[in-house]
Amino acid sequence: MQKDPMALIGTDHVEFYVSNAKQAAHYYQSAFGFELVAFSGLETGDKEKVSYVLQQGKIRFVLT
């Protein structure tokens, strides 16, 4: 039996590319109880995109 060279050991986060990251982050917080733990955007020097990191227990989503 051959070992899988790309076997997953774990997952740190799942990133979703959405049309409105701010609105999506608000929805996940309100509807599912996620907590905002990090932000990246114009205010932090990123001129290309806006990302919100939401966490609930061991689940971590990045909304970009």
- Ramachandran category for residue 42: left, alpha or beta (phi over 0 → left; psi -120 to 50 → alpha): alpha
45 three-class SS: coil
- Closest by Cα among 64, 58, 10 to 38: 64
pLDDT tens-digit map of 5-64? 888 888 899 999 999 999 999 999 999 999 999 999 999 999 999 999 999 999 999 999
Give the neighbor-by-neighbor strand order of the sheet with 59-63. 14-16, 59-63, 51-56, 35-40
Rounded Cα gap, residues 42 and 6, in angstroms:
36
In this prediction the pTM is 0.84
Dihedral sign of CA atoms 12, 25, 43, 51 in order: positive
What pLDDT is recorded for position 1? 64
